[in-house]
Amino acid sequence: MIRQNIKVAVDAVVFGYKDKILNVLLIRRNIDPYKDSWALPGGLVLENENLEQAVERELKEETNVTVDYLEQLYSFGDLGRDPRNRVVSITYFALVKPEHHDIKADTDAKDVAWFDVQDLPELAFDHAKILKKAKKRLQNKLTYEPIGFDLLENKFLFSDLEKLYMTILEKEIDRRNFRKKILGFGILKELDEKVSEGRGRPANLFQFNKNQYFKSKEEGFFFDIK
Amino acid sequence: MIRQNIKVAVDAVVFGYKDKILNVLLIRRNIDPYKDSWALPGGLVLENENLEQAVERELKEETNVTVDYLEQLYSFGDLGRDPRNRVVSITYFALVKPEHHDIKADTDAKDVAWFDVQDLPELAFDHAKILKKAKKRLQNKLTYEPIGFDLLENKFLFSDLEKLYMTILEKEIDRRNFRKKILGFGILKELDEKVSEGRGRPANLFQFNKNQYFKSKEEGFFFDIK
């Protein structure tokens, strides 16, 4: 095989949805280059671990976070993205509830924190570009499959789901059209229970119909042409 | 940086649609391991080229094919996928018309050919797994954006578009529902010209409305909740 000196790394974009805000998990670097800068958790792959094991290990080591499922996002390999060496980074992303995770910095991280994606510090390397790609992917996913099953409380108002969508899409949605589409999937159960929110009339609570949700997710929600 | 001996490669899945058949471009390996086996075109990334440049170069070298746009598919990095060395492969895919490309084997390839994806030889390495992922991605893309703009003739019958979808999805589609959905996007122009196909009544020809197609593609076809 030809001589090749390229290193392989993994990086994780962990989004957290809380209090109607989309956050991202960042670490503060303890080592050069970009010492003291905020960055995505990640690091070099060990020779005896698979890529998924590497990203889970780095995330656990640097932030103490364990995520059930990290989806592969994209691989970044442009020349010069790391001043030390040519490094190709295979990136992963996940969407979680921050309150389910105790964060704690360790190894290459001197600090760890959730940041509102609308109010970020300057990021190390090309991590702003990676984060942008992850946001775009998350927004795209929303347009072809409903998400949020594990981000909302067990029982929620329809307006909570609307806010989740508007927060991630970063824009207003046509509420009438949205309600029609989402209810048309048959994945929500409208409960008899009502609660009041603000000054409005009491509104019904909803619950996800788990079985139908996972069945539809498996089959694909859109374009049912079969 | 830690010692790490992992090589970085790229591989290309180039699908070709012709005569209502979905084909994939394969090369016959000229070197060990898997000498004489069929495989996806690809190879190691050079230190001074980006990933996209690497996959374009390998494709050109091994098959003489140049593709306008290769989309990144997925990165495969499991232990043991190459008997020589740990290799992470960043894979790309494209969908083209075979008749627009003159194929010719060279460098590490002793032969190159289009194969019906339904009738494939045994593939080297984990290339069957890569191809499976690429097929799945292509099928998913079809469910959230119409494709085919550059795969059909300039003027085509609606049944040609149906066949393209059925071929890629590998199943029958609900033709009435399909027609309604596709026409609803406003990306097709029904012409006054009619042609007869087989024993049926003459049917109208269609053309893509290029401007609307690319505009809609940019905005996203589905879930217009904004």
Q: Looking at the domain assignment, is residue B86 inside a domain?
A: yes
Q: Are A13 and A134 in contact (CB under 8 A)?
A: yes
- Domain check: are B23 and B42 in the same one? yes
Q: Which token pair is A23?
A: 């956050």
Domain count for chain B? 2
Cα B224 to Cα A108, A143, A177, B139: the distances in Å are 43, 8, 8, 21
- Domain check: are B84 and B191 in the same one? no
- Domain check: are B27 and B115 in the same one? yes
pLDDT of residue A87: 97
- Domain check: are B19 and B127 in the same one? yes
- Domain check: are A103 and A176 in the same one? no
Contacts of B181 in chain A (CB under 8 A): 223, 225
Q: Which token pair is A202?
A: 């009491």
Contacts of B7 in chain A (CB under 8 A): 1, 4, 6
- Domain check: are B89 and B15 in the same one? yes
DSSP A13-70: EEEEEETTEEEEEEEEE-SSSSTT-EE-SEEEPPTTS-HHHHHHHHHHHHH----S--
More confident residue, A173 or B44: B44
Mean residue pLDDT across chain B: 90
Is B220 a residue whose pLDDT tops 70? Answer: no
Q: Which of A92, A108, A142 is the last residue of a domain?
A: A142
**pLDDT of chain A along its 226 residues, tens only?**
678 999 999 999 999 999 999 999 999 999 999 999 999 999 999 999 999 999 999 999 999 999 988 999 999 999 999 999 999 999 999 999 999 999 999 998 999 999 999 999 999 999 999 999 999 999 888 877 777 777 888 899 999 999 999 999 888 888 888 888 888 888 899 999 999 877 778 999 999 988 888 777 766 655 443 3
- Angle of CA points B55, A45, B79, to nearest 5°: 75
Q: Which of B102, B121, B142 is the last residue of a domain?
A: B142
pLDDT of residue B226: 35
How distant is the Cα of A176 from the closest Cα of chain B, in angstroms?
9
pLDDT of residue A96: 93
- Domain check: are A153 and A96 in the same one? no
Which residues face A29 on adjacent strands? A109
**In this predicted model, what pLDDT tens digit does every residue of B14-38 receive, in sequence order?**
999 999 999 999 999 999 999 999 9
Q: Which of A142, A176, A199 is the last residue of a domain?
A: A142
pLDDT of residue A114: 98
**In this predicted model, what pLDDT tens digit does every residue of B124-168 receive, in sequence order?**
999 999 999 999 999 888 877 777 777 888 899 999 999 999 999
pLDDT of residue B225: 39
- Domain check: are B114 and B196 in the same one? no
Q: Are A137 and A187 in contact (CB under 8 A)?
A: no
pLDDT of residue A55: 98
CATH number at residue A99: 3.90.79.10
Q: Looking at the domain assignment, is residue A223 inside a domain?
A: no
Instruction: List the domain range (segments joined by +) for residue A209.
Output: 147-218
Query: Can you give the pTM of this predicted structure?
Result: 0.91
* pLDDT confidence bin for B223, thresholds 50/70/90: very low
- Domain check: are A168 and A113 in the same one? no
Is B7 a residue whose pLDDT tops 90? Answer: yes
Q: What is the ipTM for the molecules in this complex? A: 0.90
Q: Are A20 and A162 in contact (CB under 8 A)?
A: no
More confident residue, A185 or B6: B6
Residues of A with CB under 8 A from a CB of B: 1-2, 4-8, 44-51, 72, 74-75, 77-79, 84-86, 88, 90, 140, 142-144, 165, 169, 171-174, 177-178, 181, 220, 222-226
Q: Looking at the domain assignment, is residue A224 inside a domain?
A: no
Q: Looking at the domain assignment, is residue A1 inside a domain?
A: no
Contacts with B107 (C-beta within 8 Å, 6 or more apart), sequence order: B30, B61, B62
Contact assignment for A224 to B177 by CB distance below 8 Å: yes
pLDDT of residue A226: 35
How distant is the Cα of A122 from the closest Cα of chain B, in angstroms?
24
* pLDDT confidence bin for B221, thresholds 50/70/90: low
Mutation for testing the A interface, residue in B75, B88, B137 having most A CBs under 10 Å: B75
Other beta carbons within 10 angstroms of residue A200's beta carbon come to: 9
Q: Looking at the domain assignment, is residue B225 inside a domain?
A: no
> Of B1, B72, B223, which has the smallest distance from its Cβ to A85's Cβ?
B1
Contact assignment for A47 to B4 by CB distance below 8 Å: yes
More confident residue, B226 or B107: B107
Backbone angles phi, psi at B208, to 5 degrees: -75, 140
Distance CA A137, CA A128 (A): 14
> Of A49, A74, A225, which has the smallest distance from its Cβ to B178's Cβ?
A225
- Domain check: are A100 and A138 in the same one? yes
Q: Looking at the domain assignment, is residue A35 inside a domain?
A: yes
How distant is the Cα of A96 from the closest Cα of chain B, in angstroms?
23
Q: Which DSSP state fits B201?
A: P
DSSP A76-91: E--TTSSSSSEEEEEE
Q: Looking at the domain assignment, is residue A135 inside a domain?
A: yes
Section B73-89 average pLDDT: 97
Q: Looking at the domain assignment, is residue A50 inside a domain?
A: yes
- Domain check: are B133 and B214 in the same one? no
**In this predicted model, what pLDDT tens digit does every residue of B203-216 receive, in sequence order?**
999 999 888 887 77
- Domain check: are B38 and B93 in the same one? yes
Section B160-183 average pLDDT: 88
Q: Which residue of A has its CA nearest to B76?
A: A51
pLDDT of residue B185: 80
pLDDT of residue A220: 62
A219: exposed, middle or buried (Cβ count in 10 Å: 0-12, 13-18, 19+): exposed
CATH number at residue B151: 1.10.10.10
Give the helix/strand (H/E) hosting B113: strand B109-116
Contacts of A44 in chain B (CB under 8 A): 1-2, 4
